[in-house]
Amino acid sequence: MRLRSCCVYSAGVLCILLLIAGIAMALTQVFEKLINNKIKEQVVLENGTEAFSVWEDPPPPVYMQFYFFNLTNPAEVLNGDKPVVLQIGPYTYREYRPKEEVKFMDNGTRVAAVNPKTYVFEPNMSSGSEADIVRTVDIPVVTVMEKFKDNIVIRRIISDLMKANSIGIFGTFRVGDLLWGYEDPLLKLIKNILQIDDHFGLFYKKNGTDDGEYVVFTGKKNYQDFARIDEWNGQRSIYAQFESEVSVRGVSGFRFVPPSEVFANLTINPDNAGFCVPAGNCLGSGLLNVSVCKEDAPIIMSSPHFYQADDKFAQDVFGMNPNKEEHETLIDVNPLTGMLLRGAKRVQVNVYLHQIPGFSQTGKIRTLVFPVMYLNESVVIDEESARKLYTVVTEANVIINIPFIVISVGILLGVVFIVFMCRQQTPLLAS
């Protein structure tokens, strides 16, 4: 009897101690700090760390997939009908992108590198080959027409050259040519007069070249900055917005997407006035005129199938089917470590078409934004990294929950204590 009551009282005391300890640990967040320090050590980009070698040459494969819109009714379009397009593809390339010219800066808090990309065709993940034929807008032709539409003499020469060589605003192209470059017949005819390169391709000269220097934080000062792109060619990187919680290969993540205001028209987001080029000339929600960046080619960027753009653009072309799952740009990040779990960048290249005075080749075409191609550049964490990350996250969750486990044990002991106290007192009450 004595021994038993001793046990019961120890349980009571232990219960109170555990509760105090548990609550203290929960409030001071010792374990969170411990975990953060541990992660901090591991994710700093320093010569020799694993994080550095992963960053220098990321193990998960990056794929670039191209989809084209094959025009089925060119004659009708020149007569003012809506285009009817069929999506073809994907034409998939594996992207190799090791970091080069790596240099540490600012005492190791930032690191700079260039990131040349090499594209290798992946037949297994493609539907069709690079030799497939696609009928679409002849971008060099339309560009030349736009450029000289106000010069009566030159536009006459160009128009006659086009007639003599039966070149129109639509043409058929090999997929591989359209992407990586081909000699354009019209450009070839006028290249000596205009001193221009007569090759054209959407990714012409992009294979094996880099797009400028990146600067990222190494995480030495603040580990949550790890590999965040600080500057890209000196410009600030675009921000993203939390959308939902996801799970990638068993690892939990937060999904970030570009905020919809980024694409909104001026009524909704006046900040987008900068997208109206030339000033005051706005196309509407979801479209970006990148003409100046593309040597005056009338190129308009959007999300694939005009997802999140003004409805009228998708309605102007038969064959558009915008939807969130397939057409949104996203990144999934593990919140504990900041590691990238999945990313998909999806953009569409369009050409602005309208009747150009002096060029009978444009016929009675209606003014429209014609979709040529869209791409999906995507990456998913590889199995091995996912497994490692899963272990880290699981361990961290257990450790972070220690205070609550302690509190639970305390509560359990409290219950035991109360039950025994009541049992002991029952005979007393009865007597």
Ligand X SMILES: *[C@@H]1O[C@H](CO)[C@@H](O)[C@H](O)[C@H]1NC(C)=O
- The binding site for ligand X (CB under 6 A) comprises 47, 63, 65, 70, 88, 102, 104, 107, 118-121, 124, 128, 132-135, 180, 207-208, 265-268, 277-278, 281, 283-285, 289, 291-292, 304, 326-327, 344, 346, 352, 376, 378
Helix (H, G, I), strand (E, B) or coil at 6: helix
Q: Minimum Å distance from CB 25 to ligand X?
A: 32
Give me the least distance between CB of 184 and ligand X, in Å please.
18
Helices 185-194 and 139-147 pack at an angle, to 10 degrees, of 40
Nearer to ligand X, 208 or 335 (CB): 208
Give the nearer residue to ligand X in terms of CB position, either 54 or 399. 54
Residue 84: both structure tokens together: 């009817």
Sign of CA dihedral 157, 161, 163, 169: negative
Rank residues 303 and 406 by Cβ distance to ligand X and give the closer one: 303
Nearer to ligand X, 19 or 202 (CB): 202
Please state, in angstroms and rounded to a whole number, the distance separating the CA atoms of residues 182 and 173: 9
Q: Rounded to an integer, what is the distance from CA 306 to the centroid of its chain? A: 16
Smallest distance from ligand X to CB 414, Å = 50
Q: Report the amino acid identity of residue 332.
A: D
Of 36 and 70, the one with the shorter C-beta distance to ligand X is: 70
Cα–Cα distance measured from residue 383 to residue 375, given in angstroms and rounded to the nearest whole number: 25
Nearer to ligand X, 173 or 417 (CB): 173
Q: Name which of 351 and 393 has its Cβ closer to ligand X.
A: 351
Phi first, then psi, for residue 357 (nearest 5°) are -55, 140
Shortest Å, Cβ 60 to ligand X:
11
Q: How far is the CB of 263 from ligand X (least distance, A)?
A: 11
**With contact defined as beta carbons under 8 Å apart, do 347 and 374 qualify?**
yes
Q: How far is the CB of 8 from ligand X (least distance, A)?
A: 57
Q: What is the DSSP letter of 272?
A: G
Which of these, 302, 293, 350, lies nearest to 328 by C-alpha position? 302
Smallest gap, in angstroms, from Cβ of residue 165 to ligand X? 20
| Residue 333 Cα distances to 228, 240, 254, 324, 342, angstroms | 12, 12, 5, 19, 7
How many Å apart are CA 244 and CA 218, to the nearest integer?
Answer: 27
| Tokens, residue 149 | 């539409």
Q: What is the DSSP letter of 276?
A: S
Return the number of the residue (136 or 334) whose C-beta is nearest ligand X. Answer: 136
CB of 140: closest distance to ligand X in angstroms? Answer: 17
Pairing of strands 299-302, 213-217: unpaired
Residue with CB nearest ligand X?
A: 376
Q: Can you list the alpha helix ranges (DSSP code H) found in 182-323? A: 185-194, 311-315
